[in-house]
Amino acid sequence: MKNDGASIDADHLKRLAQIGVALSAEKDIDRLLEKILTEVRIITRADGGTLYLMSDDGSELEFAFVQNESLALNMNTAEGEMTWPPVPLTHPDGSPNHANVSAYVAITGRPVNISDVYATQNFNCEGPRLFDQKTGYHSQSMLVVPMRNHENDIISVLQLVNAREPESGLVIPFSPECEGMALSLASQAAVSLTNNLLIGQLENLLDAFIQTIAVAIDEKSPYTGGHVRRVANLTMSIAEKINNCQEGQFAQIHFSSDELKELRMAAWLHDIGKITTPDHVVDKSTKLEKVYDRMEEIKTRFEMLKQECQRAVKDAQKKADAETLRKAEREIHTLNEECEFLVKLNDGSEIVSDEMSERIRKIARRKWRTSTQDLPLLTQDEIYNLSIPCGTLNDEERDIINNHAIVTYKMLSRLPFPRKLRRIAEYASAHHEKLDGSGYPSGLKGEQLSLQSRIIAVADIFEALTAKDRPYKKGHSVEEALKIMEEMVRDRHIDPDLFELFIQEKIYDEYTKTELTERESNSS
């Protein structure tokens, strides 16, 4: 084949096959776009070129890459280097924009080959002319070809400028052979671009779906809104600090982009098992709360007993019976003390000692009368819950809460995640495990726990300790939270190296400035 004009020889055919292999191997969307434009320019000997992408709604062409060898230009919109307005495919009245050559190709799917943009009468080439005025360049020949996906939709447009004669470098028209090869390469490129875009869209869909599930989990409880998002953000802050470590325990550890994505998704999904946890258990703010706080019923019973005493006081006053009067008044005082004692125990803030438990049982032996019978002042269930040693959850409720980690693993392990995300279920479900093996659900210890699970655990613990919106506990200050975590390090509950990094890099400080400050301002 002769090298007249900008024609293609046999070497270009071989090059075309090599390009197809290279394009199919490229996974990064920006590098792929750049490679497509570069290779089309090389094979057609074009001095410059523009790659447009069809907008999501199909109403306009968006600039993606612009190259010009003479001007040493290689710009893209992804890095903010270009802010050129998109090319609309329709006029304000709704008619198709056939005057603009790139819009015409996008609308019709037909290639356009122009020998001189300043002489053409068929298209408005105002864009290239304005470019020439600003840069001193001279656009002459132009070739514009469409890129179609597997559904025959236009997904991109390639616009090439100034084909050059190989020996002299003079600008010449794009030959019919050039046009054919550009269309062929555009077809190959469209396959790679479509696959890349589809993968990106599926990943975006998966991300959005995961975050939607996380929002649903948080919305189940009015007290945990934003918990999952905050844990995910804190998890990624820790991971990024690890990647930046130049010395110390984490100097040799570097998470790849896929590993970071896997960790982020695991953090977003770490509480997915709480979908099955009853709200009245998750939000149990007092020991006696079920659907409502049963302490009000106990207060009513105390009031009934006090009313009996008050009647005794009145009778004693009428009879001037001083001894009976003192006994009745002492009983009222005792009832008030006992009621206050139970109310205080009910909020779960105190550690219940053996003496306290015995006092609860003694109070329970009091009798109060209904319309038909005498009953113990406290039921066995009320005694059991008021005697909870710490917090507001009894053993059965704690098992229900702990079960969310098992459910998390069951749910996530059944999802067909791609190979690069295959450990999401493991990382997400192990955030309550402890280094000494006393955690749940599997009692893993030491090296059995992945670094990723340990990171989520630290993030989850710090978020929970500093949260001020939980009904079942008070929120700790950052200093208090760090002191508690220090004790957890000594007890081999959390990773000491991660905690040291958390302190040294002041990750907690960054978190406080964003999340805690924002929550406090929203609640004030």
* pLDDT value for 501: 96
- Give the pLDDT band (50/70/90) at residue 25: low
48 has pLDDT over 50: yes
- Give the pLDDT band (50/70/90) at residue 256: very high
399 has pLDDT over 50: yes
Q: What is the pTM of this model?
A: 0.67
Classify residue 272 by its DSSP letter. Answer: G
Which residues are paired to 161 by β-bridges? 48, 142
* Residues 494-509, mean pLDDT to the nearest whole number: 94
Q: What is the pLDDT of residues 229-253, one digit of tens each?
A: 899 999 999 999 999 999 889 999 9
108 has pLDDT over 70: yes
* Residues 460-476, mean pLDDT to the nearest whole number: 78
CA distances, 256 to each of 178, 208, 247, 417 (Å): 41, 21, 18, 17
Question: What is the biggest distance separating any 2 CA atoms in the chain, rounded to whole angstroms?
Answer: 132
* pLDDT value for 291: 77
E strand or H helix that includes residue 412: helix 395-413
Q: What is the pLDDT of residues 57-107, one digit of tens each?
A: 999 999 999 999 999 999 887 666 667 889 999 999 999 999 899 999 999
Which class in CATH covers the domain with range 10-200?
Answer: alpha beta
Select from 506, 481, 476 the least CA-distant residue to 494. Answer: 481
Select from 112, 121, 176, 115 the least CA-distant residue to 144. Answer: 112
* pLDDT value for 23: 62
* pLDDT value for 22: 61
Residue 5 gets the label, from left (phi > 0), alpha (psi -120 to 50) or beta, of: left
For all residues of the chain together, what is the average pLDDT? 87
For 130-169, b where at least 16 C-beta lie within 10 A, e where not — what string?
ebbeeeebebbbbbbbbbbbeeeebbbbbbbbbbbeeeee
* pLDDT value for 378: 96
* pLDDT value for 471: 58
- Give the pLDDT band (50/70/90) at residue 7: very low
* pLDDT value for 408: 92
Please tell me the distance from the alpha carbon of residue 278 to that of residue 368, in angstroms, as a whole number: 33
The fold adopted by the segment(s) 221-275+418-523 is: Hypothetical protein af1432 (1.10.3210)
* Token duo for residue 373: 């019978």
Which residues are paired to 66 by β-bridges? 50, 75
Q: What is the pLDDT of residues 182-213, one digit of tens each?
A: 888 888 877 878 877 777 777 888 888 888 88
Q: What percent of the chain has pLDDT over 90?
A: 55
Burial status of residue 18 (CB atoms within 10 A of its CB: 0-12, 13-18, 19 or more): exposed
Please tell me the distance from the alpha carbon of residue 283 to that of residue 278, in angstroms, as a whole number: 9
313 has pLDDT over 50: yes
Please tell me the distance from the alpha carbon of residue 256 to that of residue 236, in angstroms, as a whole number: 13
Which of 4-8, 22-26, 220-224 shows the lowest per-residue confidence on average (mean pLDDT)? 4-8
- Give the pLDDT band (50/70/90) at residue 364: very high
Residue 258, C-beta contacts closer than 8 angstroms, at least 6 positions apart: 420, 421
Classify residue 87 by its DSSP letter. Answer: E
